Amino acid sequence: MIPLADSVRETLATPKSVLSTGLRSLDAIMNGGFPRSSLSVVYGEASTGKSTLLLHCMIENLMDNEKALFIDSDRSFSLARLLQMTQSHAEGIAERIMLFSPISFREQTALIENLENYLTSRIQLVVIDSITSLYSASLESSNVFTQNRQLGRQLAYLSELAPKRELSIIVTGQVHARPMSNDRAQLVSNRLLTYWPSVVLRLALMGRGGLRMATLEKYFNSQDLSRQCLFRIVGEGLIESESEEPLEEGVSTGKWS
């Protein structure tokens, strides 16, 4: 498989259309939402809202009889949570989600590299939650170089598939602590998961009140943007935060992840 050339990346610098997250402030920092024809990465520590954001985005974009493809590598997909968030719009939403649950990293690789076989014209969104969970588990019994190569293949394929089929592809990534460092936790396989995607969005818990903060760290050829917004997670999904006060990252009292 041939990696995406730099000249091709440059032509994707301005998205033709976007896929709304359903949250005004989050859409605003991403120029309208997750760009179509592009690969995006959302990462953060546990309970920062990654899975809820993915569900919220799917629900927002399944109202017009479209479909979504969800790869549940983290066993995080919850039908009960989906129905809770859809409320009066629940009828038919779950039926328009094509769900896959690979049980190994090798199976995940095979599934991703054959995604095109499952796509239809009604599928505009592909979600993988998370692309690194089975990767991390496989490192205990496999060669690191081999697994890194597989992960790189998956991300390269997704970055090529998105513009080819005009998809918005959103994957989540896990983080790990950095030994002997006071810095925040780092994205697992940081180099690969920041090189291939067009968009990198970090979610963080805030110090009080169940707030989460989203920070846009990469948007096509721009990096270190520090464009941020605050939001909350409730039973119905994501809601705007009225707080304008800068807060420190820390332990949240929020329930949903």
Q: How far is Cα 224 from Cα 83, in angstroms, rounded to an integer?
A: 37
**pLDDT, mean over the chain:** 83
**What is 101-162 written as a DSSP string?**
--SSHHHHHHHHHTGGGT--TTEEEEEETTTTHHHHHHTTTS-HHHHHHHHHHHHHHHHHHH
For residue 76, the SS3 value is: coil
DSSP 88: G
Cα–Cα separations (whole angstroms), residue 134 to 19, 120, 186:
27, 27, 17
Residue 252 lies in a domain: no
46 or 252, which is more confident? 46
33 or 141, which is more confident? 33
Residue 8 lies in a domain: no
In this structure, what token pair is assigned to residue 207? 């110090």
Query: For 68-122, what is each residue's pLDDT tens digit?
Result: 999 999 998 888 888 888 876 666 788 889 999 999 999 999 999 999 999 999 9
pTM for this predicted structure: 0.85
Q: How far is Cα 202 from Cα 180, in angstroms, rounded to an integer?
A: 22
Query: For 191-240, what is each residue's pLDDT tens digit?
Result: 999 999 999 999 999 866 678 999 999 999 887 677 999 999 888 888 99
The pLDDT value recorded for residue 162 is 97
- 230 is in which domain, residue-wise? 19-240
| Domains identified in the chain, total number | 1
CATH code at position 138: 3.40.50.300
Whether residue 130 is preceded by a cis peptide bond, meaning omega within 30 degrees of 0, is yes
Residue 76 lies in a domain: yes
